[in-house]
Amino acid sequence: MQEQDLISTVIRPEVRALSAYKVADATGFIKLDAMENPYTWPEEIKQEWLKVVHDAEINRYPDPEAKSLCRILKQYNNIPEQSNLLLGNGSDEIIQLLLMALPANSRVMAPEPSFVMYKQIALCLGLDYQGLPLVANSFDLDLPALLESIKTQQPAIIFLAYPNNPTGNLFDTNAIKSIIENSQGLVILDEAYAPFTDASFIAELPNYKNLLVMRTVSKLGLAGLRLGFIAGNPEIIEQLNKVRLPYNINILTQCSAEFALSKPEMFQEQTNTLRNERARVFLQLSTLSGITPFPSSANFILFRTAKGKATETFAALKEKGILIKNLAPQQGLLSDCLRVTIGKPDENNAFINALKNTI
């Protein structure tokens, strides 16, 4: 049999049409491309953690519901008593799980540009994905257009990243409420960048049956663990639980996350430093001619270079050992745009200096 015949026999056309999510090899670079927290733990905390790992019963299946971790996450994130939680192997897995539960041919909606996995997973599952453009330059929601699309297309689910990735802004609160109120389907507020903003829809959960809030520990400083959660209406969480694989949160993640979240002051200090650095990097970027940074409530900053200069600026930074994200190939509202993750002060300085010498 020809290889192509085999592929078309066993792989759905919508999957064949996709490209896999690619991650750049960052070996040897100052890594400012993936919204990771640059700080590791003090040695004494690592030693304490190793004792916890030492006692993990690796021969046993983990608690399938991760009850103890759920309690801690609920407390750490001020989740209302009446809301329930479902955990995922990263919030990426939760997006997949939400979409797998939808009726066949459902419509999935998200603003664009936004987090690419909404579209990637929707297409992969053969769902009807529709991206709705944000307003140019402000990157805010185009509310009239969104409400019109909701009315005519009746999406089963809408994803809103709050703050949005890759633009960094918070959408207007009243626009979001209006979307929730006018939607017959689910509205998912993806609060992956919660550690870097005080804005949140978690307190609104009891007010809306169709609102779910998703968070992750990745951007907080635990990207290697792969742990996310979604909170909201217990009746919906109960249904989603049927789609979830029984032991999706492994025992090392469960015990390590519990341990880490018992050190809130450590994360508070790290994220405060990153917030201050974000303000400093923003100011520095604003002074560079030909560079336009966009205000951010996350741990990264989107900025625009002079026309047609983004890809060469990205390459020149890479040549100088600094890896950021080139968004220019996505074109449209992201034409000439690059995204830099906020790192440690010396990493940020290296980035700013390299950029100065590049433009």
Number of residues forming the site for ligand PLP (CB under 6 A)? 13
260 sits near ligand PLP (criterion: CB under 6 A): no
Candidates 36, 190, 277, 336; binder of ligand PLP (CB under 6 A) is 190
- The one segment of 50-58, 87-95, 264-272, 287-295 that binds ligand PLP by CB under 6 A: 87-95
**What is the per-residue burial (b if ≥16 Cβ within 10 Å, else e) of 72-106?**
bbbebbebeeebbbbbbbbbbbbbbbbbebbeeeb
What whole-number distance in Å separates Cα of residue 275 and Cα of residue 330? 27
Task: Decide: helix, strand or coil at residue 211.
Answer: strand
Sign of CA dihedral 7, 13, 17, 21: negative
165 sits near ligand PLP (criterion: CB under 6 A): yes
- The one segment of 43-51, 59-67, 86-94, 171-179 that binds ligand PLP by CB under 6 A: 86-94
Task: Take residue 54 and report the two structure tokens written for it.
Answer: 């030492």
Candidates 33, 36, 92, 347; binder of ligand PLP (CB under 6 A) is 92
341 sits near ligand PLP (criterion: CB under 6 A): no
Residue 184: exposed, middle, or buried by beta-carbon count in 10 A (0-12, 13-18, 19+)?
exposed
115 sits near ligand PLP (criterion: CB under 6 A): yes
Distance between alpha carbon 191 and the CA centroid of its chain, in Å? 7
* Locus of tokens 């790992």: 53
Nearest distance in Å: CB 300, ligand PLP: 9
Q: Which is nearer to ligand PLP, 62 or 228 (CB)?
A: 228
Candidates 192, 274, 301, 342; binder of ligand PLP (CB under 6 A) is 192
Cβ-proximal residues to 38 (8 Å cutoff; 6+ apart), any chain: 343, 344, 347
Nearest distance in Å: CB 92, ligand PLP: 4
Nearest distance in Å: CB 148, ligand PLP: 25
Q: Which is nearer to ligand PLP, 218 or 271 (CB)?
A: 218
180 sits near ligand PLP (criterion: CB under 6 A): no
Nearest distance in Å: CB 192, ligand PLP: 4
- The one segment of 125-133, 216-224, 332-340, 345-353 that binds ligand PLP by CB under 6 A: 216-224
91 sits near ligand PLP (criterion: CB under 6 A): yes
Nearest CA to 274 out of 191, 193, 337 is that of 193
Contact by Cβ (8 Å): 95, 159: yes
Q: Which is nearer to ligand PLP, 218 or 270 (CB)?
A: 218
Strand intervals (E) in 245-304 = 292-293, 300-304
Would you mind telling me the total number of residues written for the chain in this entry?
359
90 sits near ligand PLP (criterion: CB under 6 A): yes
Strand intervals (E) in 26-79 = 30-31
Interface residues with ligand PLP (CB under 6 A) are: 35, 90-92, 115, 161, 165, 190, 192, 216, 218, 223, 228
